[in-house]
Amino acid sequence: MSRSGLRKLQEGWRIQMRVIHALMIRELTTRFGRENIGFLWIMVEPLLFAGLVSFLWRFMKGPEEHGVGIIAFVVSGYIPLTLFRHCVGRSVSVFVANGSMLYHRQVKVTDFVFVRFLIEMLGAMMAYLFIAIVLIGFNEFPLPANLGMFVSGWLLYSLFTLSLCFVIAPLSEMSEVLEKFIPVTTYIMIPFSGTFSAASWLTPTVREYLLMSPFVNAMEMMRSGIWGDKVTPYYNVWNPLVCSMVALVIGLALCRHVRRTLVIE
């Protein structure tokens, strides 16, 4: 690549980063305002849900299941699930809500999807880190046995979630019916997310079908990174990677189609 081409690439990258930064500030200010704890509210809901559900399971099932602490197990599954549900919910009608920003030449429709996903991912990461530190202090959460494996699983889970957002956002503009089905769909997918069960706990037949889900493969990687040899993970890295790439290609094509037909008011 020539120097002039490299300079253009660097300048384009700097412009894109400024656009993302500005859209994030706008989104956070619109959603949370500037009072109280402001944008820190993005981590409160995952914390509340994960905390309440984990303590409910602790009361119902006891301190451990299959040799794994029940509170830590539920937290490790519920926070990623909350990330998925929030990202998908925020992707619906995102273009209409931000359409006026398209008067700026540097702003693209894909920026809206990415910004909302990025905010939710940062909130989920903050919630995960906070609750893990608190639970480690009470000896209810183990120190990660393999941090690299955990981070890899988290990134794959997040990547597939982002790819689905790129598909759902334009489809929600093409059909209003989709908006009605999204809340139901996010609940139906819970059994296929690996949130409340590990693959090693299932029969071989059920496990084989469940491992077709990219979420389950990524979740198994995260739990392997947390508990190490205490669990028997089943996963295929290529499953979430390939599914994410396919969904991204479809989603970007749909975004391009919607941008051509989108009416800016």
How far apart are the two ends of the chain, measured CA to CA in Å? 40
Where does the pLDDT of residue 5 fall: very low under 50, low under 70, confident under 90, or very high at 90 and above? low
Task: Name the residue among 121, 154, 138, 129 with its Cα closest to residue 224.
Answer: 154
Q: Given a cut of 90, is residue 182 above it in pLDDT? A: no
pLDDT tens across 62-112, in order? 778 778 888 889 999 989 999 998 899 888 888 777 767 777 777 788 888
Task: Name the residue among 149, 49, 100, 218 with its Cα closest to residue 57.
Answer: 49
Question: Angle at Cα 178 formed by Cα 172 and Cα 184, nearest 5°?
Answer: 130
Mean pLDDT of all residues belonging to the chain: 85
Output the pLDDT for position 245: 96
Between 2 and 103, whose confidence is greater? 103
Q: Given a cut of 80, is residue 11 above it in pLDDT? A: no
| DSSP bridge partners of 64 | 69
Q: Given a cut of 90, is residue 257 above it in pLDDT? A: no
Output the pLDDT for position 249: 95
Residue 65 three-state SS: strand
116 neighbors 154 (Cβ within 8 angstroms): no
Average pLDDT value for residue range 230-245: 94
Between 46 and 40, whose confidence is greater? 46
Average pLDDT value for residue range 43-70: 81
Average pLDDT value for residue range 117-124: 91
Task: Please tell me the chain's helix, strand, coil percentages from 3-state DSSP, rounded to the nearest 5.
Answer: 80, 0, 20
Assigned token pair, 140: 């209810």
Average pLDDT value for residue range 23-51: 75
Output the pLDDT for position 121: 92
d(CA 126, CA 42) in angstroms, rounded, equals 9
Highest mean pLDDT among 30-44, 87-101, 134-148, 180-194: 134-148
CB-count exposure of residue 190 (10 Å: 0-12, 13-18, 19+): middle
Between 14 and 251, whose confidence is greater? 251
Output the pLDDT for position 147: 93
